[in-house]
Structure 1
Amino acid sequence: MSFPQRFTGKTVLVTGAGTGFGAEIAVRAAQEGADVAIHYRNSRAGADATAERVTALGRKALVVQADIAEHAQIQRLAEEVWSYFGRLDVAVNNVGDVAREQMSWRDITEESIDHVLAVDIKGTLLCTHEFGARMLDQGGGAIVNVGSTVVVRGSARAPQYAAAKYGIIGLTKSYAQAFAPLVRVNVFAPGFIETAATLGREDWKSGRGDQLRAATPMGRIPGPEELAGTALFLATEDAQHITGGFLIADGGYNMVGA
């Protein structure tokens, strides 16, 4: 399979690139010509595996560890990336906790609320802030924050997750204004994705997956590699007039718009 070379000579950072969607975005960026910084928090083995896939494509890979819920760790991560590559053209803030183990709103805990908001809102905000400020200093760049179509319908299962993903829209619009016109900031909002973690969910295995496929006009739920190029579109030259935007890729499940 041949890929468009939309990122030849560019450097791309993907947070949460040790597993799932983040790993596929990192590999797709490399397939399109980018050198890639691969962030992880806990899954070092996964990040190393992603790095091997990137270097096998003839691109440079840098593996960086940080807990993005802490500003000092994000600053250190940025310092490592910029000192290694010299610049960063694209940042994909993919890290997000979906409270996957929670099966009902009745099971919500204060600890889960604090954790999801700290990672999804605070972490994404601080990454956008830190990476964007440095991109401004270097003269340009693009940031893609991974959101979710959960904001359309909400989540009876995990209200804190829907709240967090709404927060990402607000911070994205704010920084899109602050960083314009040099640095663009957008939200990519996938619907359901059949990552290993999703496929392992009890509700998914007991019929939820089949229900969602039936309710999706496209008739199926994609794997992460199918949406990686779509997420990266927002960082390409073809998207040069899109900032503060919200791009949905959900197979028609929500059909929102004007």
Structure 2
Amino acid sequence: MPDPQDLLVERPAEGVLLLRLNRPERRNALATPLLRAVADAIETAEGDDGVRVVVITGSDTLFAAGADIGELAASGADDPIETPRYLAWAAIRAFSKPLIAAVEGWCLGAGAELMMCADIVIAAKGAKIGQPETNLGIIPGAGGTATLPRRIGHARAMHMVLTGEPIGAEEAHAIGLIARLTEQGQALDDALALAAKLAMRAPLALRAAKASIRDAEHLDEAAHLRSERVRFIELLGTADKAEGIAAFREKRAPNWQGR
């Protein structure tokens, strides 16, 4: 069982859930109990209408420095594929609402893979992002070779993974790995401001938009255009669509109901 203090869960604003990784003595290493706690919190948020956006962060000096070395040392070639850890990663990726990551300092290995589960990443200048697993004689096991090339392309992913060398936040921003670059110490504040803004927007539309953008990773353009159209049509029948049109015409703020 994870120590409940390893993951701090807060409600900093209406509609916003904040998850803080809190294992400073282990550099926020993502041991399976902590990863499972993140997945459980996200699965709970999935079914909570009071949560519209989730923000995940570490401390003001590091996001997460990787997996737990002790767990890696005890693992072997007879490990099953669908372990609790594998299922926790799948649950985090399946989250349908907006997920924002606020990154300060080191973001390595499993930390970088958790960051890549987010829809929008805000990283502070000076942050370092990397996949150093080949330094340990292994490879990334939760997206570092599957998700990373889809984010930044084949050539850059090859360089990051084969050398194990981290890149700075400025470079990560330039190549599209992170969405926004901010001043050191500001990543969480900026992420929470963005989360509060998104929490005021149409929740069904944001979920449909997230799902449709994700389709770009596995559908060809023709299939994606059709899938996009299906989601568009579905939203036309919602109360939120009617409210959005009415609010626009009446020049007032909409009151989204999520239905």
Same fold (TM over 0.5): no
Larger Rg: 2
- TM-score by structure 2 length? 0.30
- TM-score by structure 1 length? 0.30
